[in-house]
Amino acid sequence: MELHILEHRLRVASIAKESIQLFTYGLIKLAFLSSKTRCKFFSLTETPEDYTIIVDEEGFLELPSSEHLSVADATWLALNVVSGGGGFSGSQPIGVTKIAKSVIAPLADQNISVFMLSTYQTDFILVRERDLPFVMHTLAAEFTILRVVNGETVAADDLGITNGFVKPKLVQRPVIHPLSSPSNMFCVTSLDPDTLPTVATLLMDVMFYSNGVKESVVGNEDSGHIRFFSFSLIEGYISLVMDVQTQQRFPNNLLFTSASGELWKMVRIGGQPLGFDECGIVAQISEPLAAADIPAYYISTFKFDHALVPEENINGVVNALQVSQAEKH
Amino acid sequence: MSGSKPDILWAPHHVDRFVVCDSELSLYHIDSAVSSELKAGSLRLSEETTATLLSINSDTPYMKCVAWYPKYDPECLLAVGQANGRVVLTSLGQDHNSKCKDLIGKEFVPKHARQCNTLAWNPLDSNWLAAGLDKHRADFSVLIWDISSKYAPETAVATEKVRLSSGDAEAGLVVTKPLYELGQNDACLSLCWLPRDQKLLLAGMHRNLAIFDLRNTSQKIFVNTKAVQGVTVDPYFHDRVASFYEGQVAIWDLRKFEKPVLTLTEQPKPLTKVAWCPTRTGLLATLTRDSNIIRLYDMQHTPTPIGDETEPTIIERSVQPCENYIASFAWHPTSQNRMVVVTPNRTMSDFTVFERISLAWSPVTSLMWACGRHLYECTEEGKASSLEKDIATKMRLRALSRYGLDTEQVWRNHLLAGNEDPQLKSLWYTLHFMKQYTEDMDQKLSGNKGPLVYAGIKSIVKSSLGTTENLRHSRSGSDRQADIIQYLSEERSLALQLCGWIKKGTDLDVEPFLNSLEQEGDWERAAAVALFNLDIRRAIQILNKGASSGKGDLNLNVVAMALSGYTDEKNSLWREMCSTLRLQLNNPYLCAMFAFLTSESGSYDGVLYENNVAVRDRVAFACKFLNDAQLNRFIEKLTNEMKDAGNLEGILLTGLTKDGVDLMESYVDRTGDVQTASYCMLQGSPSEVLKDERVQYWIENYRNLLDAWRFWHKRAEFDIHRSKLDPSSKPLAQVFVSCNFCGKSISYSCSAIPHQGRGFSQYGVSGSPTKSKVTSCPGCRKPLPRCALCLINMGTPVSSCPGGSKSDEKVDLSKDKKLAQFNNWFTWCHNCRHGGHAGHMLSWFRDHTECPVSACSCKCMQLDTTGNLIPAETVQA
């Protein structure tokens, strides 16, 4: 297995929902006119609380500085696990489940905070740049670590840090934070970048004018529906996460879907905003899923974390996590 | 493609059809345009060709890539890769009864939809179609479909969940299970099958090039690179692959897959297509975005594999088939160097890349040129003489006639050169006299002037400047010679010798020289020399003799008559007439004679600057009649003239000095005759001139020239000649006999060093104290191998021939000492490695064909071609 350390230096920011109009100019440029910017990594996720932006330093320059923009005070690097040469076992669990044991748990053991972003194409594990030596040391045993420099992968230098590591202890990691499961069903999809202009207005509507739509189509939040939409444009690849209702607004055959048409349900983690310093949250969720061989997507936002699991597994997942939660007490 | 830029493809088997694809597929048929008028509906592609639209297929929207079925198919079966990753088989034919009918409309659907970037049919198994897709987190990006596979009704589970996919109703045509899945969690941007094996697939993945081996799918060879677009194998050299990234093309050698063997010069705009020419080796065409030219890189002469140090030779050209930007191009599969291009607005153009003409000129003046697959030999008509005049032809003939190799009678070399060039004649005579004089000096052992000889008359005259000078008023020969002053000194007489006027040391007699000139029939010159030696009677006598001889000119009598009327009266009519009429004489010597007689003492410009008189005669004249200051000035002036003109006669003045090299340089610049330059410079024993890099350059060039003519023996002769005259050029020993045990050389130079106080005379051969023979290695003291016949260690002298009586031996020894020395040599068969004393071996193989070692059946002697030769001695006997 290879672990690629990508060259994007990322910022994680949050825009308050009511202030979104201050930022639409920059966001539209980043999402639809990528050739006009030098941005290579852009992700926008709308939750009921806020808009979370993950963007590289080049793209960050497109956003106006404002009191309505809260920025996490760290530079983040994206890690990407590539299966490399081998790995041909037919139906592997996908997404975070696959890397739960090899990446997420060891990092949690070393108290390294991670920020997850799953897309249609792959999973990105974001770590703070200052934690990189510890990350590399922790994962060196399991992975061939490569760094991307100017688009080419080269062997990463061992930064030679050996002290300050604790021996991993085989502790149970009970789920600490409260969980909730909204009722809407989601799909994770993509589209041909060439066809992006044809749906740009629709996407803008979905991204920035959700407030109006919510009342008429989705109904209110009491029924368990939540507002969740994620758009990312990373190295030329588009990934979209939206609920089925939103998806139906797109023309037929435009969005890429799986042949089996799978749908996903969400587990939301956190009652209070989670912050950026607590470690092991992803591990708490992903380890039980990996144990049960359930595929999952995991999207962290500025305030809460979101896991997507196949709709048919949602009850099992919720039960398992609640059991884990109960163990805490 | 998708609507914006059209692509173009030639049909692999219908040489007159091609497809243009953008949002739909259009099949065209190419016709040759017989008349200048266009048929209705056809498009002009070039002056000779037009295209007619045959059919349009717009069944497959969102096309991303197209690949033509490689097997012969009348219906033009195509695979189309779509934006959602589906691969559809479609056709452009009209005949619905074709055998491929059941394939048309078949769809191959990946588990997760994403763009299909590339398609590649397997060239060996045309049922295999590889598709390269974009990245998906849990799916494979390289799918190999078997187009003959039947619909697998495994989708019972799937259909239950089909909510997003629609229109799969035509079940039976949809295949969802690929034959192979490769490249999980990766993106595939380009693909090509390797012709080496049916199951090798080269793929340009997200950040690396990977070779998948379908015989063992768990392994792949890969190399990290950015150049992953458009991988394509050279059809003529299956280990060579091209790929590109933005504006740069990388060429890979699959045997050295770690890094590109070379990268082509980067283009400012990103590349869109790179393709090897299918009809010519090593020709790569590239196209960049927004460009109206196609760049061609010719790698035909690039060595493979390309070494790390050598700069590969790539010839870069560009062609501009039309004014507009080019959207895509396609090489014709069979017609040589032919190509069609299509522009964004779908105008097309058909053209042939004109082949570069290469020209080769052989060292023996024949000329060839090649264009495409044709080779032409050129012969020049008629003018054979111009070829003969060429210095290369001359040098070849001279090399064959052993020009320059006569070291005994040096002057003869000008005869070997063909006796046609007066400059060469003068040169070789000069060298001859110089050599002769040095030899004389050596014999007399009074060599204080010796080194001066090869330094030329200029230095000799300079050295006489301060030395004793004998002035003498001479009235010899004729009493009428009143006031002519002659100068004499040791140096001057040396100069006269070098000019050839007089022989041997102090003897001032020119008679032998006159006689030799008379013999050659050179009457005018002989008369002039006689006159310049103030012997007017002899001159008249010579002229008379010349007039009466068979070939002589009768006018010589008239000249003799005029000469006899000489008077030293300053204001006589004779003088007046002669000084004006002499200019009408054709012969320069006759002209010079009268100039001498009519001139004032001490001013002889009429003789000295008569350019048609040989330099040696003018110099000799100057040495006789000019005082030191005049002589120096004259020699200086003449030397510079000669140097500027590159006239070889001037070597007499400059000798083989740096001045001489300067002169030779202008001669070589003028003629290119490195042969004469090499031989001439080698004659000079002072090695300073040989160290001059120009001289070394001529010598090396001459050697190369001989090599180019394949005159191996001549070159060897030259090298031997050179090493005789220039010992520093002797090559070092190149063959050694080394010890089996320590590997050190056991040759003489090594064994001559005394070892631990014991001289080798101890091991030496009795009777020959000069030869120190050893029977053990001087390095490690281990014994040398034994002779297979006498069983004595090598190094001991050979005993008498086995079986030979004592009397024979005595005869042998007295007969040929050289052969006896050779008898002691080591010799062995290069095949079986057995051997021994050369003498023993020779006598053994006189009667045997097999190796003398028992149980060895090697027929050593028959392996050696020289072994079959019979010595000349035996033939005579």
pLDDT in tens, A242-283: 998 888 888 877 888 776 778 899 999 988 888 888 888 888
Q: What is the pLDDT of residue B579?
A: 75
Out of B62, B220, B226, name the one closest to residue A151 (CB). B226
Residue B661's CB: how many other CB atoms inside 10 A? Answer: 23
Q: Which residues contact B729 (CB under 8 A, 6 or more apart)?
A: B690, B719, B722, B723
pLDDT for position A218: 44
pLDDT at B764: 36
The closest of B296, B254, B259, B305 to B276, measured between CA atoms, is B296
Q: What confidence category does residue A170 fall into, taking pLDDT thresholds of 50, 70 and 90?
A: low
**Distance from the A81 Cα atom to the nearest Cα atom in chain B, whole angstroms:** 9
CB contact under 8 A, B184 and A194: no
Residue B849 CA to residue B861 CA, distance in Å, equals 6
Is position A309 within any domain?
Answer: yes
- How far apart are the C-alpha atoms of B729 and B720, rounded to whole Å? 10
Residue A215 within a domain: no
In this structure, are strands A123-128 and A114-118 parallel, antiparallel, or unpaired?
antiparallel
What span, in angstroms and rounded, lies between the C-alpha atoms of B861 and B838? 13
Distance from CA of A147 to the nearest CA of B (A): 11
Share of chain B above pLDDT 70, in %: 80
Check whether B315 has a pLDDT greater than 70: yes
Distance from CA of B360 to the nearest CA of A (A): 44
Q: Percent of chain B having pLDDT more than 90?
A: 14
Containing domain of residue A92, as a range? 1-210+226-328
Mean pLDDT of chain B: 79
B54 Cα distance to chain centroid: 55
Amino acid, single-letter form, for residue B453: V
Cβ atoms B845, B860 nearer than 8 A: yes
- The B-side interface with A (CB below 8 A) comprises 2, 4, 62, 83-85, 109-115, 134-138, 157-158, 161-166, 176, 181, 184-187, 207-208, 217-220, 222, 224-226
Identify all chain A residues contacting B83, using CB atoms and an 8 Å cutoff: 192, 194-195
Cross-chain residue pair A190–B222, CB shorter than 8 Å: no
Question: Which DSSP category does B796 fall into?
Answer: B
H, E, C per residue of B97-111: CCCCHHHCCCEECCC
For residue B626, pLDDT over 60 is answered with yes
Question: What is the reported pLDDT for B504?
Answer: 65
Q: For residue B586, give both structure tokens.
A: 């054709």
Nearest residue to B409 (alpha-carbon basis) of B678, B675, B698, B683 = B683
How far apart, in whole angstroms, are the C-alpha atoms of residue A39 and residue B707?
Answer: 64
- Domain total of chain A: 1
Has residue B834 got a pLDDT over 90?
no
The Cα–Cα gap between B536 and A166 comes to: 123
- Alpha helices by DSSP H, listed for B754-856, are 806-815, 817-823, 838-847
Q: Are B584 and B468 in contact (CB under 8 A)?
A: no
* Residues in contact with A284: Cβ distance below 8 Å, sequence separation at least 6, in sequence order: A173, A174, A175, A176, A324
Instruction: Write out pLDDT tens, residues B531-571.
Output: 888 888 888 888 888 888 766 666 777 788 887 777 666 66
The answer to whether position A218 is within a domain reads: no
- Range name among A254-268, B11-25, B509-523, B801-815 with the lowest pLDDT average: B801-815
> Does the beta-carbon distance from B186 to A187 stay under 8 Å?
no
**pLDDT tens for residues A176-210?**
888 888 988 999 999 888 888 889 999 999 988 87
ipTM above 0.90, yes or no: no
For residue B790, count other CB atoms closer than 10 A to its CB.
Answer: 17
- B269 or B46, greater pLDDT: B269
Q: Can you tell me the mean pLDDT for B324-338?
A: 90
Put simply, the answer to whether B207 touches A252 (Cβ < 8 Å) is no
The helix (H) or strand (E) run that includes residue A99 is helix A96-99
- Maximum pairwise Cα distance, chain B: 143
The CATH code of the domain that includes A280 is 3.30.2130.10
Span between the terminal Cα atoms of chain B, in Å? 91
The whole-number average pLDDT for the span B261-283 is 90
Contact between A274 and A232 (Cβ < 8 Å): no
At A203 the pLDDT is: 92
Q: Within a domain: residue A219? A: no
Measured CA to CA, the distance from residue B716 to residue B94 in angstroms comes to 75
Question: Does the structure show a pLDDT above 70 at B643?
Answer: yes
Q: What is residue B749's predicted lDDT score, i.e. its pLDDT? A: 43
Of A82, A85, A256, the CB nearest to B113: A256
Contact A85 B62 (CB under 8 A): no
A8-37 residues touching B, CB cutoff 8 A: none
pLDDT mean over B567-582: 74
Contact (CB<8Å) B219/A85: yes
Q: Tell me if A106 is assigned to some domain.
A: yes
**Token match 């330094």: residue?**
B455
Least confident piece of the model among A153-167, B180-194, B233-247, B345-359: A153-167
At residue A46, the pLDDT reads 93
For residue A252, list chain B residues with Cβ-Cβ distance below 8 A: 166
B91-144 pLDDT, tens digit per residue, is 887 666 666 677 888 889 988 888 899 999 998 888 899 999 998 887 889 999
| Residue of chain B minimizing CA distance to A89 | B218
What is the spatial distance between Cα B433 and Cα B497, in angstroms, rounded to a whole number? 7
At residue B505, the 3 state secondary structure works out as: coil
Name residue B151's amino acid: Y
β-pairing, A144-149 vs A2-16, is parallel
| Contact yes or no for A259 and B112 at CB 8 A | yes
Token pair of A56, please? 């590289």
Higher pLDDT, B388 or A179: A179
Q: Check the CA dihedral B81-B87-B93-B98 and report its sign.
A: positive
Using only C-alpha atoms, chain A has a radius of gyration, in whole angstroms, of 19
Contact of B545 with B517, CB cutoff 8 Å = no
CB of B370 closer than 8 Å to CB of B354 = no
Q: What share of chain B is helix, strand, coil (3-state, %, to 5)?
A: 35, 20, 45
pLDDT value at position B806?
Answer: 42
Question: Cβ of B165 and A257 within 8 Å?
Answer: yes
A261 vs B164, B184, B226: nearest CB: B164
Q: Which of helix, strand or coil describes residue A307? A: strand
Predicted local distance difference test score (pLDDT) of residue B864 = 66
User: Do A153 and B224 count as a contact with CB atoms less than 8 A apart?
Assistant: yes
Nearest to B158 among A153, A192, A260 (CB): A260
Distances from the Cα of A291 to the Cαs of A81, A299, B705, in angstroms? 20, 20, 82
| Residue B464's pLDDT band (cuts 50, 70, 90) | low
Of A95, A150, A187, nearest to B137 by CB-CB distance is A95
Tens digits of per-residue pLDDT, A88-143? 444 455 667 778 778 888 888 888 899 999 998 888 999 999 999 888 888 888 88
Instruction: For residue A133, count CB atoms less than 10 angstroms from its CB and return exposed for 0-12, middle for 13-18, buried for 19 or more.
Output: middle
Q: Span B242-246, mean pLDDT? A: 93
Contacts by residues B396-399 (CB-CB < 8 Å, ≥ 24 positions apart): B396/B364, B396/B709, B398/B675, B399/B675, B399/B706, B399/B709, B399/B711, B399/B714
Q: How far apart are CA A265 and CA A186, in angstroms?
A: 6
Which residue type is seen at A250?
F
Compute CA distances B773 → A264, B711, B753, whole Å. 97, 39, 13
Decide if A152 touches B, using CB distance below 8 A.
yes
The model's pTM: 0.61
Q: Kindly identify which residue of chain A lies nearest to residue B108, measuring between CA atoms.
A: A259
Q: What is the pLDDT of residue B758?
A: 36
The confidence score (pLDDT) of residue A229 equals 93
Looking at the partner chain, which of B135, B158, B163 has a beta carbon nearest the beta carbon of A122? B135
Which has more pLDDT, B36 or A55? A55
- Predicted local confidence at residue B284, as pLDDT: 93
Check residue A117 and give its pLDDT. 93
The pLDDT of B18-22, averaged and rounded, is 89
The pLDDT value recorded for residue B747 is 63
Measured between CB atoms, which of A88, A146, A253 is closest to B218? A88
Look over chain A and give the mean of its residue pLDDT values, rounded to a whole number: 83
Residue type for position B489: S
The amino acid that residue B622 corresponds to is A
Residue range B4-8: average pLDDT?
A: 82
Query: Which DSSP string corresponds to B355-408?
Result: PPPEEEE-TTS-EEEEETTEEEEE---S-HHHHHHSHHHHHHHHHHTTTT---S
Phi-psi region of B172 (alpha: psi -120 to 50; beta: other; left: phi over 0): left
Residue with tokens 């024993």: B685
**Contact at CB, B224 and A146, closer than 8 angstroms:** yes
Cβ contact (<8 Å) for A122 and B137?
yes
Pick the range with the lowest mean pLDDT from B125-139, B152-166, B464-478.
Answer: B152-166
Q: Please tell me the number of Cα atoms within 13 Å of A30 on its side-chain side.
A: 27
- Of B541, B584, B548, B592, the closest CA to residue B564 belongs to B541
| Lowest-pLDDT choice from A78-87, A246-255, B711-720, B783-792 | A78-87
| b (16+ CB within 10 A) / e for B339-376 | bbbbbeeeebbbbbbebeeeeeeeeeeeeeeeeeeeee
Q: Give the model's pLDDT for residue B353.
A: 87
Distance, CA of B356 to CA of B369 (rounded, Å): 10
The pLDDT > 70 percentage for chain A reads: 86
Output B516 or B152, whichever has higher pLDDT: B516
Residues in A closer than 8 angstroms to B82, CB to CB, are none
Q: Where are the beta strands (DSSP E) in chain A?
A: 2-16, 41-46, 50-56, 69-71, 76-82, 114-118, 123-128, 144-149, 152-155, 179-180, 185-191, 229-234, 237-243, 255-256, 264-269, 297-300, 305-310
pLDDT of residue B752: 41
Cα B290 to Cα B1: distance, rounded to the nearest angstrom: 15
CA distance B217 to chain A (A): 8
Whether A85 sits inside 8 A of B111 (CB atoms) is no
Cβ atoms of B339 and B332 within 8 Å: the answer is: yes
**Nearest-CA residue of chain B relative to A93?**
B138
Contact A95, A298 (CB under 8 A): yes
Residue B241 has pLDDT above 50, yes or no: yes
Least confident of B13-22, B155-164, B330-339, B371-380: B155-164
Alpha carbon distance B272, B326 (integer Å): 10
| CA closest to A239 among chain B residues | B136
Whether cis (ω within 30° of 0) applies to the bond prior to B305 is: yes
B383 or A256, which is more confident?
A: A256
Residue with more model confidence, B316 or B164: B316
The residue of chain A with its CA nearest to that of B216 is A86
List the structure tokens of B363.
Answer: 């060292």
Per-residue pLDDT, B4 = 62
